[in-house]
Amino acid sequence: MKAARTVSYTRPDQMAASRRWLFGSMLALMGLGLVMVYSADILKHMDRGKDLVFLQKQLVRFGVGVAGFLVASRVGPRLLFGLSRPLWLLAVALLGLVLVLGPEINQAQRWLVIGPVLFQPSELARVATIILIGAWMAAAGERTRNLREGAFVPLIIAAIPAALVLIEPDLGSSLYLLFMAVLVLWVGGARSLHLMAGFLTCLLGAAAYGWTRFAHVSHRIDLWLHPEPTSQVSQGLTALASGGIWGAGLGASVGKWGFVPEAESDFVLAIIGEELGLVGILLVLLLYGVFLWHGVRLLMGLRSRFALVVGSGLIMQVVVQALANVAVVAGTVPPKGIPLPFVSAGGSSRLVLCISAGLLLGLSRRPEEDPVGDSVLAGGSRPVPSEDPAVAERVVEGMG
């Protein structure tokens, strides 16, 4: 029998410092995004004399995001556990409402019009799914090693909103939701074989549906495999390359003059590279690294299975989304409408990510509060048998 391993947990004073660092890195990314989105999209609004109106709108979104973060940071594990099912049901209802009442924009129904605001329920559905799966895994305890409790039921929880998102149609967001669900289940202790079989089934089904029903999916893949000089990816790479090490200077981008599509949202990183150069790109990656590092430190101070599983999912969605956006801009994967977290324009995505970061802080403020009574820790550290890897150990392996 292998020797037991010991997992060390973050001290309260370290957690307080990590909360400040995580909040600071998020604000820095949002501040950089405010400047770069204004720079990337200003020409479009200057033509209509609405550049100040555009800036005011971005400032309002910035403020709403920070307010959402602060409110969410007051939500503890017990309250979040209680809200898990109603929040998921609300997200599913909104996804259904989108298919009935949502306006068609770019040949897709993905948004709800709430007054002057466009809201994308798929963003909420991803977070709600992470929270409900975390609650299910915490309540199931050691039964998560079984096929039904550890894979079948949680994947059904994820598959329902994923299917509704796929119908909008939004194949990328649907697969992204399923992928996040699998990561959360793995952290929660489900067997890798069960997860792999379930995820591959969902993946192949969604991919086949998207490939046969939506012509734009195959078109995007063809453009990625055989890029044209005027394609989105080619123009993004041209903007990145032209920036060099130090960049052309703030506001001096040529790509934003209509050459780089979605310059203020999905491809804002290309404009950062062109105007701020390699230094700007490295700064963005450094800020995400700070966010991840201190997010993991907060996770390692949590004592309950529910808080660990949900907190891991909330952090991983930021990291996965950032990596996916960088990969798209670099041309290593086919283009998909995935914004750069906290940086790209887009009120729904930024607000939901700010709330997610706030929820992580809320979990870390009450590290010993356990809504299910299934605590993974009794003291400052615990022995973890290698035959049954602990949730905390999987957090370290998956993110360390």
Pairing of strands 5-8, 381-384: antiparallel
Residues in contact with 75: Cβ distance below 8 Å, sequence separation at least 6, in sequence order: 83, 358, 359, 362
The residue assigned the tokens 């409110």 is 71
Residues in contact with 355: Cβ distance below 8 Å, sequence separation at least 6, in sequence order: 68, 69, 71, 72, 127
77-101 and 347-365 helices, crossing angle to 10°: 160
Domain range list for the chain: 8-371
Which of 362, 311, 356 has its CA nearest to residue 123? Answer: 356
For the chain, 400 residues long, the average pLDDT of each consecutive 10-residue run is: 50 90 97 90 66 79 95 95 96 94 81 85 96 92 82 91 89 88 88 80 71 66 68 83 90 82 86 94 97 95 92 95 93 83 89 96 90 52 37 54
pTM confidence score? 0.88
d(CA 182, CA 164): 18
Q: How far apart are the first and last CA of the chain?
A: 26
Helices (H), 104-191: 121-140, 147, 153-167, 171-187
Cβ(133)–Cβ(154) under 8 Å?
yes
CB atoms within 10 A of CB 143: 12
Cβ(261)–Cβ(235) under 8 Å?
yes
Counting other chains too, the contacts that 224-231 makes at CB distance below 8 Å and 24 or more residues apart are 224/331, 224/333, 224/334, 224/335, 227/331
pLDDT at position 216: 63
